[in-house]
Amino acid sequence: MPKLKTHKGASKRFKLTGGGKLTRVRAFRSHILTKKSSKRKRRLGSEQLVSKADTKRVKRLLGV
């Protein structure tokens, strides 16, 4: 069986941590920021772990 290619779209969106967990960037931070509070925008700037339900699928896309 040949090697699987990395899904390039997924590789740009997800990052693997040292412990083997996956991080992602939160949505709703790109535009229409005037109506969003500073607290909300600050929280959206931080990275978040990928949910347990999606981890297996994302790891497969990344070829991990």
Parallel, antiparallel, or unpaired: how do β-strands 22-25 and 47-49 relate? antiparallel
**pLDDT range class, residue 4, cuts 50, 70, 90:** confident
Number of structural domains found in the chain: 1
Distance CA 60, CA 6 (A): 9
Q: Which domain holds residue 46?
A: 8-62
Classified as helix, coil or strand, 22 is: strand
For residue 25, being part of any structural domain is answered with: yes
pLDDT at 24: 97
Parallel, antiparallel, or unpaired: how do β-strands 22-25 and 14-16 relate? antiparallel
**Mean pLDDT across the stretch 34-59?**
96
Comparing 13 with 1, the larger pLDDT belongs to: 13
For residue 27, being part of any structural domain is answered with: yes
Q: Residue 37 sits in a domain of what CATH number?
A: 4.10.410.60
The whole-model pTM stands at 0.81
